Amino acid sequence: MGLLEVSGLDAGYGDLQILAGVNLVVDAGEYVAIVGPNGAGKSTVMKSIFGLTAYMGGSITFADEEISQLPPERIITKGIGYVPQNDNIFPSLTVKENLEMGAYILDEVPQSRLRRVYDRFPVLEERKSQKAGTMSGGQQQMVAMGRSLMLDPDLLMLDEPSAGLAPDLVEETFDRVDQINDDGTAVLIVEQNAKEALRRCDRGYVLVQGSNRYEDTGEALLADEQVRQEFLGG
Amino acid sequence: MGTRDARGLRTAVTPERLFGGVLLLGVVILVLDLFRRVATGDLSADALSSFLWRGLVDGLIIGLAAIGLSMTYSILRFANFSHGDLVTTGAFTGWTVAYIIGGIGVADLSSRLLLRADGGASPGEMNMHILAEPIAIVSGLVFAAVATILVALAIDNLVYRRMRNAGGIALLIASVGVALVLRYVIAFFYTSSTRGVTASAPESDHWLLFWTDSINLHQTTMVVSAIVLMLGVHLMLQYTTLGKAMRAMADNRDLALVTGIPTERVVRATWIIGAGLAGVAGYLVVLDRGTITFNLGWFLLLLIFAAVILGGIGSIYGAIVGALIIGLAINVSLVWIPADLNEVAAFGLMILVLIFRPAGLFGGVETA
């Protein structure tokens, strides 16, 4: 059994269906990427897993428990962390307050986890009293990741973490995701930067028009002539 | 060439900036004139000091009410036009309790319950001032907050909760309806007559603040209560988990939801704090003015909005600063204009700020 199993998922916004029969598995500790053209519904898959879209059918199980009809505030307690693509920090709160909000559902902020986040992102400790909204894009991304790590999730979902970052920061961001995964957290990532994501991940899914098109290891997808032609620009 | 000139002109002197400039010049001239008057003795230091004190008193009262308005705006995302009538609710419920307790043996219960709607025993006969009836007046203050909170929670449950995602305009219109219902329910029970409810305030010359000969103890009670409550709200917002969650939700409601912040509980806390402060503000306004009337909050609402807009809508610190500026403006302007017209000064300043800083003085700096 995989940690996360999505099968035959139909979902969308209001009456508009975006996803049609999406299947996806993430095993414990695995690193899985979803790539595909714009408008394929990549982000929608993540939002649907987190209970932020209109559910229309299919099943989502996490650690053998059906979660497809749960609201986000329940899903977060199951061990799934989610970092949205945009607006993923509280700009007028300090860095430390942002991290504390990540552990809001716990009775008190676990100091050991705060410590681990600071060890992972030392710049956040240096700037813990700074308002998060005044930081650079790369640092804000660290605040967002740090916040979602405060609950020590079994699965971390990252929606385009490298979007809008300068090229050298893109590399750094992917390195950080690797580290998080190396420490045992399963990662599900949606990326526009498909080649880099497929190079780093264990397995990848190519999503087209709301359905799976290809599914294989990252290396195999990168090597596949048809995938290269259609989705990776040759 | 032509386009560049046109653009240069447009940024340089738009009609509103021209108007704003004239207004600003007027304010500068008036401030200079104020200095001249004080220097030449046209305006005694005593008179100026009493204008400033009055400004502080009015500013703090408006500020107390403005905090709640600003919070409902930043967390529930609508301009609550019924906020003024929550102020009125606090005034009537609080003073009713003060009368029930303080008027025992002087007036009969029905007269006390309806706050002298029958014109019963006068406030003077009841000795309704802070030194003679401290327990009654403090109980009234507490009850004003409690009752207003209950009314606001009931309204939220009946009206606003059902339209949480309806958008700012629909909620605003609903709040106008709520305002009218509240106001006329109050008028129905308490009648629409304006009446005195407090005995004249005792004066104390023990501590000489603001260089005046003596100090009005009702105003002092008000100033102290307002400052303590504002400090409390500040500490709550900055240092408690709930306060941080409120700021987080004001910042980014969708992210707050994904982070597991219980948004409905934050909304409830917003009503509790905002309505509690509004109720206390209404109660204290009456303590200061001595009279009560069913549209007291409605008339105050314009000044409350002016304070919130001046400070930058959504920022409670902006609302407090805005309120102090409004309070000072309406009082210091009495040097030049009659009291009936002094709100012109408040709204003139508001227009001025909106022309040059459309987001308000603190706009975009600090939320919640």
Contact in structure between B318 and B127 (CB atoms under 8 Å): no
Using alpha carbons, list the distances in angstroms from residue B201 to A78, A141, B119, B127, B131: 61, 58, 20, 10, 9
- Quick check: is A212 in a domain? yes
Residues of A in contact with B258 (CB under 8 A): 50, 52, 72, 76, 82, 84
- Quick check: is A118 in a domain? yes
Residues of B in contact with A50 (CB under 8 A): 258
Q: Which residue from A164, A83, A93, A84 is spatially nearest to A133, judged by alpha carbons?
A: A93
Contact between A93 and B251 using a beta-carbon 8 Å cutoff: yes
Q: What is the pLDDT of residue B233?
A: 95
- Quick check: is A24 in a domain? no
Using alpha carbons, list the distances in angstroms from residue A65 to A4, A5, B300: 9, 10, 55
Domain extent at residue A78 = 30-49+71-231
Count chain A–chain B contacts defined by CB atoms under 8 A: 60
Residue B120: pLDDT band (50, 70, 90) is: confident
- Quick check: is A17 in a domain? no
**Using CA atoms, how far apart are residues A219 and B138, in angstroms rounded to an integer?**
75
Residue A2: pLDDT band (50, 70, 90) is: confident
**Using CA atoms, how far apart are residues A76 and A181, in angstroms rounded to an integer?**
19
Whether A50 and chain B come into contact, CB under 8 Å, resolves to yes
Phi, psi of A6 (to 5 degrees): -110, 125
Angle of helix A167-182 relative to helix A137-149, nearest 10 degrees, comes to 10
Total domains in the fold of chain A: 1
Contact between B258 and A104 using a beta-carbon 8 Å cutoff: no
**Using CA atoms, how far apart are residues B201 and A136, in angstroms rounded to an integer?**
56
Cα-based angle B306, B311, B314 (whole degrees, multiple of 5): 95
C-beta atoms surrounding A167 within 10 Å: 7
Domain ranges of chain B: 16-202+212-356
Q: Which CATH architecture has domain B16-202+212-356?
A: Orthogonal Bundle (1.10)
| CA-based nearest residue in chain A for residue B245 | A101
Residues of A in contact with B255 (CB under 8 A): 84, 87-90
Tell the burial category of B112 from Cβ atoms under 10 Å away from its Cβ (0-12, 13-18, 19+): buried
- Quick check: is A19 in a domain? no
Contact in structure between B209 and B215 (CB atoms under 8 Å): yes
Comparing CB atoms, the residue among A52, A92, A101 nearest residue B259 is A101
Residues of B in contact with A100 (CB under 8 A): 241, 244
Contact between A50 and B260 using a beta-carbon 8 Å cutoff: no
Q: Which of A52, A88, A90 should one mutate to test binding to chain B, selecting the residue with the greatest count of B CBs within 10 A?
A: A90
Top-confidence residue, B341 or B293: B293
CATH number of the domain encompassing residue A77: 3.40.50.300
Q: Which residue from A143, A51, A48 is spatially nearest to A102, judged by alpha carbons?
A: A143
Whether A97 and chain B come into contact, CB under 8 Å, resolves to yes
| CA-based nearest residue in chain A for residue B244 | A97
Contact between B258 and A76 using a beta-carbon 8 Å cutoff: yes
Please state, for a pLDDT cut of 90, what percent of chain A lies above it: 69
One DSSP character per residue, A135-173 reads S-HHHHHHHHHHHHHTT--SEEEEE-TTTT--HHHHHHH
Whether A152 and chain B come into contact, CB under 8 Å, resolves to no
The model's pLDDT over A14-69, given as tens digits with 9 standing for 90+, comes to: 899 999 999 999 999 999 999 988 888 999 999 999 999 999 999 999 999 999 98
Residue B157: pLDDT band (50, 70, 90) is: very high
Structure tokens at B298: 């409605």
